[in-house]
Structure 1
């Protein structure tokens, strides 16, 4: 049986994307990227929405120009090795390049519980919209935030409104660029 975690890169004012939907400000430094690579070793399943999947599809094959370094190749290897559940009512099987990707038109809490129960490790739910119902239902055990030292003033909140969480800090790290990694666990 797995555990459910939620990971997000957020501005200091709590947004995963700004008011225009942009999140380029959240690109990790080399140091933070290596941290993500290492962290992926514990993840067996990723649950993500359509937009996040389309963004992450980049990692399913190396660019032909040879621009990836060792960390990018290792992240890609780990990403391609995990099960991915994509929540989308508009994507079709033809839109998915990997056999390790399962499309579901919607994700109810019962289906998510089944995914976690069948997982051999950590199930990471990625993206505030996809994660909101699970967060509200108290299903998420671990919260991992990469807090970027930038305020964006509005946009897509990393946590849903009107959620009540009681968490404790279990791990933290400050990167050289000022980004703070904060790992919280439900009490």
Structure 2
């Protein structure tokens, strides 16, 4: 049986993307990127929405300019070893990168519970829109935020309206570029 976690890179004012949908300000430095790579060791399944899935297709193959270093290759290797559950009503099976990738047109809480129960390790739900129902329902066991020292003033909130959480800080780290990693667990 797995556990459910939610990971998000957010601005200081709590947004995963700014009002224009841009999130380039959230790119990790080398130290934070290595932390993501190491963290992936416990993740067996990634649940993500269409936009996030299409964004992560970047890791399907190295750019033609050969710009990836050892860290990028290791991230891609680990990313490919994880089962991906893609939540989308517009993508088709032909849009998926791998036979391991699974497409679901909608994600109800009962189906998410089954995904977590069947998982060999941690199930990470990635993306605030995809994660919102699970967060509101109290299904998420681990919240991992990478807080970027930038205020964007509006956009896509990392946590949904109406969510009421009582959490405790389980772990934290500050990276050299000022990004704060905050890991919370429900009380």
Distance 1:65 1:80 in 2: 21
Give the 3-state SS of the residue equivalent to 1:38 in structure 2.
helix
**What's the counterpart of residue 141 of structure 1?**
141
**What's the counterpart of residue 159 of structure 2?**
159
Distance 1:141 1:20 in 2: 31
Distance 1:56 1:5 in 2: 18
TM-score (norm 1): 0.99
Distance 1:52 1:79 in 2: 13
**What's the counterpart of residue 61 of structure 1?**
61
**What's the counterpart of residue 127 of structure 1?**
127
Distance 1:65 1:45 in 2: 30
Give 1:100 shift.
Answer: 1.3
Give 1:99 shift.
Answer: 1.1
Deviations 1:92-133 (A, max 9, x none): 111112111000000000000000000000000000000000
Structure 2, unaligned runs of 5 or more: none
Give the 3-state SS of the residue equivalent to 1:113 in structure 2.
helix
**What's the counterpart of residue 106 of structure 1?**
106
Distance 2:59 2:180 in 1: 24
Structure 1, unaligned runs of 5 or more: none
Aligned length: 187
**What's the counterpart of residue 47 of structure 2?**
47
**What's the counterpart of residue 29 of structure 1?**
29
